[in-house]
Amino acid sequence: MRNFVTRLLVPATLVLLAWGCAPSVFVGELSDYERDIDALQRRLAVNAADAEALRDLGVIYLKARQYTEANAYLEQAYARQANDPKTLFHLGMANETLARRDTAIRLYEKYTEVSRESPYRRLMQGRYAWLSRRMLRDEMTQLASVEASIADSAASPRIVAVFPLVYQGSDARYQPLARGLAEMMSVDLARVNALRVVERIRLQALLDELELSQSQYMDAATAPRMGRMLGAGRLVSGAYNVLGGNDIRLESALVALETSELVQLDPQSEALRNLFLAQKAVVFDLIGRLGIELTAEERQQIEFIPTQNLQAFLAFSRGLLEEDGDNFGQAAASYGEASTLDPAFSQAVVKAEEAGAMADADLEIEGFIAESADADATGEASLDLMALRLTLLNAIIGNGFFPGDDSREPGPDAGGSGINLPDPPRPPGN
C-alpha cells in the first residue's frame, strides 16, 4: 500500500513517461502514418483476424482524427479480442469522440478487470471517473432546465442529501473541513440500510449549476428546489467553528421536503482532536430524529473512526475541495499526503488512486476530446436522464449511495452483475 501511495507522488515527468506505452499526443495527419498503415494492411492481408493489427490501425486513425474509421477498426479488434486493455481504452476514446458517452463509460468501467501492471488500467479508470462526473453535471444542467416540471413527489423521504457545512471562523486552515465533515456524515448515513444518500459529486454539480451561496443551501425558497431536483426528501446542513484553535462546535439542521419544516439538531462540541466524536453524535441524533432503529452492525460501522490523525483529515478535506474544483493533480497530492500521514486511512488511499487516475487521463486527452467532437451535440450525446441514473446507479459499489462515482470502484450491485458491455460485434466477413 505504501508503494502505491509513493507512486502517486512521482514527478510529472515520470507520469508522462508512463504514457510511453500509451499514446499521449493525439495529433498528426494520416499521411504521417503511411508506412505503419502499409505494414499493418499487409499483416491483415495474411490474416484478416489479426486483432492487434486491427487495433493498431484504429489507434492510428484515432491519432489522425479519422474517428469513424478508427471506431470501425477498433470494433473489429474488440470483436476478436474483447479483453485487450489497449483496445478497450481506445475504443472508449473513439466513442467519446463520436459523442457516444454511454458506450464509452461501459468500456472504461471494465478497468477493474485489467491488470494493475497495464498503463491502460489507470487511463481507463481516469476516463471512467472523469466522464461520470461530466455526465452528472450535464444531468444537473438538464434538470435545471426542466425544473418546473419536477413534482414534489419525485423526492423520496428515504433519500438524504448532506450539504457542505458553513465555516463560521476566519482561520483558513479549517475551511476545507466544510467538505470533509459533510462527506463523513454522508458515508455514515450510507451505512444505514433504510436510507439512500446523494453523493457529493451530484450535489456539488447542482450547487454549481444553480450558483448558490452557502447561505442559500437551506433557506425556505431554495431547500425545496434542491430536494426535488436531487430526488431527496431529507436535506441536512449546518455550520461549524473552531474555537481557540482547540475545540470544534457543530450545529446542524434537518429539513423534510414534504413539510418544509426545519429541525435543529443538538449542537455538539468536542476537542478538535476528537472532531469525529462530534460528527458521529450529529449522525446518531439525525438518525434518531428520522425514527430509524439501527442494527448492531450498522451502529458499529457508524462508530468506526476513519483516522485519528487530524492533519491527515485536514489534507483529505483539502483533497475534496480540490477535486470539486476539477484540480485532480492537486487533489491527488492532498489525498496522498493524507495517506502518508495515516497509511490506515483507507478512504484517503482510495481517493488518491481515483484522483491520480483522473489527473493522468486528463493530460492532453481532454483537449483531444474537446477538439474532436462536441460532447453536447444532438443524437446519442443527448441525455436520457432516467437511463443515465440507472447506468450510474448500477456502476457503484455500496447500495447506500444514490448515483455518483465518488470514492468507490465500479462493480456489481447487490442484485446482479452490474453494467455489462454489449456482446462483441460479430467479425465482418473476410
Whether pLDDT at 176 is above 80 = yes
Average pLDDT, the chain: 79
Integer angstrom CA distances of residue 339 from 72, 133, 181, 268: 43, 24, 18, 28
Q: In which band, very low, low, confident or very high, does the pLDDT at 152 lie, cut at 50, 70 and 90?
A: low
* pLDDT confidence bin for 375, thresholds 50/70/90: very low
Q: In the predicted model, what is the mean pLDDT of residues 277-286?
A: 97
**Considering the chain, what percentage of its residues have pLDDT values greater than 70?**
74
In the prediction, which pLDDT does 9 show?
A: 34
pLDDT of residue 359: 87
For residue 414, pLDDT over 50 is answered with no
What would the CATH number be for the domain defined by 23-149+357-430? 1.25.40
Q: Is the pLDDT of residue 20 over 50?
A: no
Give residue-wise pLDDT tens across range 234-276: 999 899 999 987 999 999 999 888 887 889 999 999 999 999 9
**pLDDT tens figures, 391-403:** 333 333 233 444 4
- Domain covering 153-305 in this structure, CATH number: 3.40.50.10070
Given this model, what pLDDT does residue 45 score?
96
Stronger pLDDT, 262 or 405, i.e. the higher one: 262
- Residue that wins the pLDDT comparison between 9 and 352: 352
**CATH 1.25.40 domain extents, the chain:** 23-149+357-430
Classify burial at 94, counting beta carbons within 10 Å of its beta carbon; exposed 0-12, middle 13-18, buried 19 or more.
buried
Give the mean model confidence (pLDDT) for residues 181-204: 94
Pairing mode, strands 268-271 and 247-256: antiparallel
pLDDT at 117: 93
Give 74-129 as a DSSP string.
Answer: HHHHHHH-TT-HHHHHHHHHHHHHTT-HHHHHHHHGGGGGS-TTSHHHHHHHHHHH
For residue 416, what is its C-alpha cell? Answer: 446482479
Mean pLDDT, range 398-421, rounded to an integer: 35
Residue spans in the chain of domains classed CATH 3.40.50.10070: 153-305
